[in-house]
Chains A and B, each alone.
Chain A
Amino acid sequence: MENDGSTEITPEKLYLSRRAFLAATGAVVATAAIAAACRGRVGNTATTGFCAGAAASATTDELGQKLTSCDDVVSYNNFYEFSLDKDNVAAVEDDFSTSPWTVSVGGLVDKPGAYSIQDLVGKYPPNEHIYRMRCVEAWSMVIPWLGFPLAALLKDVAPQQNAKFVRFESVYDPKHMVGQKEGFLDFPYVEGLRMDEAMHDLTILATGLYGKPLPIQDGAPIRLVVPWKYGFKSAKSIVKIDLVEDMPITTWPKESPGEYGFYANVNPNVDHPRWSQASERRIGELSRRPTLLFNGYEKQVGSLYAGMDLTKNF
C-alpha cells in the first residue's frame, strides 16, 4: 500500500528510542521464556525422582541399538486416559492409585482367577527384557522392561479348545483419569492378540522398567508388551484378561477404522493411510532410521504370518 494511512491513524506519532524497543521486547520474551521453559521435562520432578535409581543390564539391545534414556522413557508417553500431551501425563496423574490392583483372568478357561500384582510377580518372577518399541506415529524407543511371559500365566489358567483370541481390558477410572472423563477415546481401552501371538516367547506382561516398578505414565502397575507390533497394541494398566472365541473389537480400529488394524504389525511396506511407516525417529537420535519389518523381530515372529496378506491384515 502506497499510503499506509499512518498519518490518519493516530493523533500523534510515538517516537521510541531503540533502547526502549529492545527493552520492551526483552521483557516480554524473558517472562514468557522462563514460564514456558519451566514447564518442560527438565523441571518435572516426578520423572527425575524415578530415574535416580534406574539400572539396566546392558546399554544396547540384541541388534546393538542403544537403550533410550530413562528420562525420555518416563517423560514421553501416549496415555490418552490422562492427557493428549506426551510430556504432560506424569503431571496430571496425581490422584491415580495403582494399589490395590486386581487382574481378573477369565473367559474360555478352566481355571479363572483374580490376581494381585504381588500374586503375579510371586508366581512369575519378572526378568529383564530389552525390547524395541515402535509407535504408529513413527517414533521409537529401546526399553529395558521387567516382566514375565504372558504364556506362563495363560498355561496355568488352562485355555479351552475354542479359545482363539486373548482380550485385554485396561482400567476404567474417570474420576482419577482426566482423559477418560473428557472421552478422548472410547474407554476403557481394549486390545487383543491371536492365541499364537499371546503364547509367543516375546510377549510379556511388564511390571517394571529400568529395574524399578512401572511409573504411572508407562502403564503401572502392569501392562502388555508386544514388541513386533505398533505401540498401541501394548495396552497399559491392565485389569482384565479374557480368552475368547471371536476377534476382539479393539479401541483404535474402532476409533478410526481403515487406519488401525487388529494385527498392527510393524511393517515399512504397509503405510498408514495418511502417513508413511517407512522410517522412524528414534527418540534421542539426530537422524531418522529406516523401519524394520516386524520391528526387527522377523526371525522370531515371521512364521506366525506365513502366507498372510499383510496389506489386507494390517
Chain B
Amino acid sequence: MPSQATLKLDPIRLVVHVGAVAPLIVLILQFVLGGLTANPIRDIQLRTGQFTLAILTASLTCTPLFIITGWQGFLPLRRPLGLYAFGYASLHVINVVGLDYQFNLPLLWRDSAQKRYILAGIPAFLILLLLALTSTDRARRWLGKGWRPLHRFVYLAAALGIVHYLWETKIRMPGPFIYGGIIAMLLLIRIPWVRIELERLPWRRKRRTDEAS
C-alpha cells in the first residue's frame, strides 16, 4: 500500500476543478452562516443560475482559446466544465422544486405553466441533461459521427439560458446582455473563415489534424 495517494493533475485542471467547486462551497457556507439575504432560497436560485451560465460560458471559451493560441490544453477542459454547468443547473432546478415549492407540484405548476421564462429554461436544462448523459467516452463511441452535431446544441442551451435569465429579471440588468455578447463573440470565432484567419496568427503552431471542430 503506497504511503501517499497520488493524483495526476496538471495545474490548469486543478484550477478548473477548484474554481468550479468553490462557488458551491461558498454558497453553502453563506447559507449556513447567515451570509445570504433575508430570502435565502431566492439567493440560491439566482446564484446557481449565474454559476451555470458562467461555467457554461467558460466551457464554450475552450475551443476559441485553442483556435487563437494553438494550445491543446484547453480542449480537455470542455467536458468537466460542461458537467459542472449541468451540476449547477440541476441544483437550480432542485432548489425550486424541493426547497422553494417543497415538492408541492400543483402549486409549482400553477406558478410556472405558460410563464415564458420557464418555457425557455426547461429546454435549456433538458439539453444540458442530454449532453451530460452522452458525455461519456462510451456514449461517444456509440453515437459515432452523430456525437459532434449533438453536442453543438450546447450553444442553444446557452442561448436559452440567457433568454430565461432575461425574461425572469424585474429590471433590465447588465448580466444577461454581457453573457449574450460573450457567447456571440465565441460563436463568431467558430465561423470557418474567421477561424482560418485566426489559425494563421504567427504564434499559432500549425497542426494537421485539429481535435476540435
- A141 (CB) vs chain B CBs: closest residue: B38
Beta-carbon contact of A33 and B18 below 8 Å: no
A286 to chain B, nearest CB (A): 8
Q: In the complex, which residues of chain B have a beta carbon less than 8 angstroms from the beta carbon of A41?
A: 34-35, 37-38
Nearest residue, chain B, Cβ from A276: B111
B42 neighbours in A (Cβ, 8 Å): 139, 281
| CA A276 to CA B99, docked complex, whole Å | 18
Whether A5 and B18, one on each chain, are in contact in the complex, defined by CB atoms closer than 8 angstroms, is no
Query: How far, in Å, is B132 (CB) from chain A's closest CB?
Result: 16
**Count of residues in A whose CB is under 8 Å from the partner chain:** 54
Query: CB-CB < 8 A to B37: which residues of A?
Result: 40-41, 75-76, 86-87
Q: Say whether B133 faces chain A, with CB atoms less than 8 Å apart.
A: no
Decide: A288 near B73, CB < 8 A? Known: A39-B35, A276-B112: no
Inter-subunit contact B26/A76 (CB<8 Å): no
B197 contacts partner chain A, Cβ-Cβ < 8 Å: no
- A28 and B33 within 8 A (CB): no
Counting CB contacts under 8 A, is A95 at the interface? Answer: no
- Encode A15-59 as 1/0 by CB contact (under 8 A) with B: 111110100110011001100111111100000000000000000
Stretch in B4-12, B49-57, B123-131, B187-195 with 4+ CB within 8 Å of A: B4-12
Stretch in B82-90, B153-161, B166-174, B177-185 with 4+ CB within 8 Å of A: B166-174
Interface 0/1 of B4-37, CB less than 8 Å to A: 1111111100100010011001100110011111
Nearest chain-A residue to B35 (Cβ)? Answer: A40
B interface, size bucket: 35 or more
A22 to chain B, nearest CB (A): 10
Cβ contact within 8 Å between A17 and B5:
yes
CB-based contact A276/B26 at 8 Å: no
Q: Are B38 and A37 in contact (CB under 8 A)?
A: no
Please encode chain B, from 104 to 136, with 1 for each CB lying within 8 Å of some chain A CB and 0 for all others. 100100111001110000000000000000000
Closest to A32 in B: B26
Chain A residues with Cβ under 8 A from B21's Cβ? 25, 29
Pair B211/A5 contact, Cβ less than 8 Å: yes
- Among the stretches A6-14, A101-109, A165-173, A204-212, the one at the interface with B is A6-14
Q: What is the 8 Å Cβ interface bit string for chain A, positions 264-288, against chain B (1 contact, 0 not)?
A: 0000000000111011010110111
Bound-state Cα–Cα, A2 to B141, Å: 9
- A72 at the binding interface (Cβ < 8 Å): yes
Q: How far is the CB of A180 from chain B (nearest CB, A)?
A: 14
* Interface check A184, CB cutoff 8 A: yes
Q: Is the CB of A1 within 8 A of B30?
A: no
Residue of A nearest to B41 (CB): A281
Specify which of B36, B37, B111 lies most central, judged by the most chain A CB atoms within 10 Å of its CB.
B37
Q: Are A14 and B10 interface neighbours, CB within 8 A?
A: yes
Q: From the candidates B8, B71, B104, name the one contacting A288 in the complex (CB within 8 A).
A: B104
- In angstroms, Cα B212 to Cα A1, docked, is 10
A29 near B36: Cβ-Cβ < 8 Å: no
Complex interface: chain A residues within 8 A of B26 (CB): 29, 32-33, 36
Find out whether the CB atom of A15 lies under 8 angstroms from the CB atom of B171. no
Is A76 touching B11 in the complex (CB atoms < 8 A)? no
A288 touches B72 (CB 8 A): no
Identify the interface centre among B9, B100, B141, B170: most chain A CB within 10 Å of its CB. Answer: B170
Q: A17-B5, A36-B26 are in contact. Are A42 and B10 (CB under 8 A)?
A: no
Would you list 21 pairs from A and B whose C-beta atoms are within 8 A, ordered by A residue? A6-B10, A6-B76, A10-B73, A15-B8, A16-B6, A21-B9, A21-B14, A29-B26, A33-B26, A36-B35, A37-B33, A41-B35, A42-B33, A75-B38, A87-B38, A274-B115, A274-B116, A274-B167, A279-B110, A279-B111, A288-B104
The 6 A-B residue pairs whose C-beta atoms are closest, nearest first, are A40-B35, A76-B38, A37-B35, A276-B111, A4-B76, A72-B38
Q: Which residues of B contact A (CB under 8 A)?
A: 4-11, 14, 18, 21-22, 25-26, 29-30, 33-39, 41-42, 71-73, 75-76, 79, 100-102, 104, 107, 110-112, 115-117, 137, 140-141, 167-168, 170-171, 173, 211
- Beyond the given A15-B6, A25-B21, could you list 9 further A-B residue pairs with CB under 8 A, ordered by the A residue number? A1-B76, A5-B72, A10-B10, A16-B14, A25-B22, A29-B29, A36-B26, A87-B37, A137-B170
